[in-house]
Structure 1
Amino acid sequence: MNTTDNKPATNSPRIAAVDLFCGVGGLTHGMQRKGIPVLAGVDLEASCKFPYEANNNAKFICKSVTEITSQEISQYYEGADIRVLVGCAPCQTFSNHTQKNKKRQEDSKWSLLYSFLDQIKAIRPDIVSMENVAELARYEIFDDFVLGLETEGYWVSHQVVNAANYGVPQRRRRLVLLASRFGPISLAESERTEKQVTVRDVIAGLPKIRAGETHPSDSLHHSSCLSPINMARIKQSKPGGTWKDWDESLLAECHKKPSGSTYSSVYGRMEWDKLCPTITTQFYSFGTGRFGHPEQNRALSLREGAMMQTFPQDYQFFRKGEKFYTRHVGRMIGNAVPVKLGELVGQSILEHVYEYTGNE
């Protein structure tokens, strides 16, 4: 716990934020929607530069968090009364989706949370936020992260949230951490929604397309092709059902084995009036999850996946007329922080600043 008497500047303090591991800008976009000036995002994936800068009033810095210096980051705080550092370190290595036989600690991404902590220690921002998969809280590296913050004088709070309670139309549990030098900080309860947003609420109004088709007015509204057997499978798939609804001739070999007979989380259709499954980096594929459209014979389009991640319908992921690869764009969308969670973080910071300054 912080033992100093830190107080933010009053009289409408100037806030400046930097987003580490920013990707295409989901966290940045949500925070900016709430009025937090995010001035820069840092990510080593060069292809994220266009979507990040095209949709957000911020500069993209193409560097690894292990390479960028604290001085480079600190320049974006010049003139600010309150400095905010946020980020979502790559989460695949902590996720249950990671191969069970993989030695997670040998993954090069494992140590990036320590790199995040190193930047915090060097920069000493006033407020910190970190978002990640819920499973991260089970590992010693997360305990080290929290202890490191507390040792540096931060009040720290963290909890696993059901993203659907904050306007994200997915079955998605995420770990959200907040830390402040000013005093206790917590999530903004004002952002909780009374009613969960459903698949129908998000994508029912989009124009119909067929598998393998791209809508002429929106190149991101593109659906992957289906093989003949997968087309036959999706035609026999019921919303909310499983591959057990198919004729036996359509079953995959893995489904016929005892080890796969109970695994029903693939080859499924979504239901209109329920939540979408957690959007992964392969949401555009009918065979990798329950991502079949509720009534059209295809998987989710890239645009539909982005909207399930609560990106606005006009969010740009590549330049107009530019050739794109479904797998590449799907990975960017699946790896993003949902914009609504970015709004939750932004609102939590604003309410915290107001509490300790008396100014909105």
Structure 2
Amino acid sequence: MKKLPNIKAVDLFCGAGGLTHGLVRGGIKVVAGVDLDPQCRYPFEANNDATFFEEDVGTLTADRLRKLYGRDGLRLLAGCAPCQPFSTYSRSGRNPRYEQEWPLVSSFGRLVEDLKPDLVTMENVPQLADHSVFLEFLSSLSDYRVWWDVVDCAKFGVPQTRQRLVLMGSKLGARAPSLGEGSHVAKSVRETIAQLPPLPAGGIDPEDNLHISSKLSPINLKRIRASMPGGTWRDWDEELLAACHRKATGATYPSVYGRMEWDKPSPTITTQCFGFGNGRFGHPEQDRAISLREAAMLQTFPRDYEFVPKGGRVVFDKLGRLIGNAVPVRIGEVIADALVNHVMDTWREAA
């Protein structure tokens, strides 16, 4: 068994722990997660041997981080700054100043410059690359060998059509770590969630309170029964159409009120993935939207990943946000593999 390097990570904007869980699976020790959302504490700490700190990354200091890392090991600063400014789900109610400044990405860059960790990784929306704040972030990595690309997560074992920007930087060796092109055959919805017990709309698995589906109104129950996997609302009879579908602008939303297909990856899991009318989030076979557990598994969280305490209240919008905003665990794992292999390669080259 190969000896793994002692890499210690702090996960900024850690959320429910998707990136952390993947890094740990890939052989990296995560010592802490930082997030301003108190809802993240339970899932982060219940599933990971790391401490959650409810703090604002915008006011976090490098001195604070140094104390979390301790004295030994290589330091990895990791994270995914919230991407709401470029959400394609809703463009209403945005703060133009927030869009322009991307303050949390800038805070990440500031901490890199002040802390000077050995390794850096960031995951974010592809649109980030088109904005000046990304160039500013890259300038904070002037002392690093840097690789970044927009990756198709399905090629790395995530059962979704999910595109994400992944960046890695290193102060070690002569080359940057890299994910490469990805070589996985796309994993399907069937392979990921078919083994879960069936549910009616509004039902809950007595053995797993996260395997719960939202209720459907009588009209939406008729709509999902008229929906074919991979089809659209254009397949429905006239009386089932919603008012928005009857407008000319409705033609631009063909994927709302859709079912997933068993033998293809799912669409991108969003914060509203528990609602049938919010995208192609209908179960391929059962007359309901996917459950929160199914959404989490499509985000490659393990089936037993805990999001609420036993007997705790399940709130769809809060847990949907944690699941939809998470870095898929599998992406964290392949990032960890790349960083570990990079460090080991530098050892061999130096020997």
TM-score under structure 2 normalisation? 0.95
Contact map agreement 2:161 2:265 (CA 8 A) in 1? yes
How far off is 1:358 after superposition?
2.5
How far off is 1:75 after superposition?
1.1
Partner of 1:86: 78
Residues 108 and 313 (structure 1), Cα distance of their counterparts in 2 relative to 1, 3 Å cut = farther
Contact map agreement 2:6 2:28 (CA 8 A) in 1? no
How far off is 1:63 after superposition?
0.3
Whole-Å Cα distance in 2 between the matches of residues 108 and 299 of structure 1?
35
Partner of 2:260: 270
Give unpaired runs (5+ residues) of structure 2.
none
State the SS of the aligned residue for 2:248: coil
Partner of 1:228: 218
User: 48, 51, 54: which one pairs with 2:43?
Assistant: 51
State the SS of the aligned residue for 2:141: helix
How far off is 1:275 after superposition?
1.0
Residues 23 and 335 (structure 1), Cα distance of their counterparts in 2 relative to 1, 3 Å cut = same
Contact map agreement 1:310 1:340 (CA 8 A) in 2? yes
Amino acid at match of 1:186: P
How far off is 1:104 after superposition?
4.1
How far off is 1:307 after superposition?
0.1
User: 135, 138, 147: which one pairs with 2:130?
Assistant: 138
Contact map agreement 1:95 1:136 (CA 8 A) in 2? no
Amino acid at match of 2:178: L
1:163-210 Cα shifts (integer Å, max 9, x gaps): 000000001000000111113213244x93431100000011110010
Contact map agreement 2:27 2:336 (CA 8 A) in 1? yes
Partner of 1:184: 175
Partner of 1:326: 316
Alignment of 1:40-189 (within 5 A): 40-99=32-91, 102=94, 104-107=96-99, 110-150=102-142, 153-182=143-172, 183-189=174-180
Partner of 2:7: 15
Residues 131 and 311 (structure 1), Cα distance of their counterparts in 2 relative to 1, 3 Å cut = same
Partner of 1:305: 295
Amino acid at match of 2:340: L
Equivalent pairs, count = 346
Amino acid at match of 2:119: I
State the SS of the aligned residue for 2:249: coil
Identity of aligned residues (%): 50
Q: Say yes or no: does 1:340 pair with 2:321.
A: no
How far off is 1:329 after superposition?
0.7
Residues 100 and 307 (structure 1), Cα distance of their counterparts in 2 relative to 1, 3 Å cut = same
Whole-Å Cα distance in 1 between the matches of residues 236 and 64 of structure 2?
57
1:201-250 Cα shifts (integer Å, max 9, x gaps): 00111100100011101000000000111001000000000001111011
How far off is 1:108 after superposition?
9.4
How far off is 1:27 after superposition?
0.3
State the SS of the aligned residue for 1:170: coil
How far off is 1:105 after superposition?
3.4
Contact map agreement 1:93 1:109 (CA 8 A) in 2? no
Whole-Å Cα distance in 1 between the matches of residues 140 and 90 of structure 2?
26
State the SS of the aligned residue for 1:39: strand
Residues 109 and 293 (structure 1), Cα distance of their counterparts in 2 relative to 1, 3 Å cut = farther
Partner of 2:24: 32
Partner of 2:273: 283
Contact map agreement 2:112 2:140 (CA 8 A) in 1? no
Partner of 1:201: 191
Partner of 1:7: none
Partner of 1:352: 342
State the SS of the aligned residue for 1:76: helix
Whole-Å Cα distance in 2 between the matches of residues 248 and 115 of structure 1?
51
Give unpaired runs (5+ residues) of structure 1.
1-10
Amino acid at match of 2:126: A
Partner of 1:238: 228
Whole-Å Cα distance in 2 between the matches of residues 272 and 26 of structure 1?
24
Q: CA RMSD in A?
A: 1.7
Amino acid at match of 1:60: F
Contact map agreement 2:269 2:298 (CA 8 A) in 1? yes
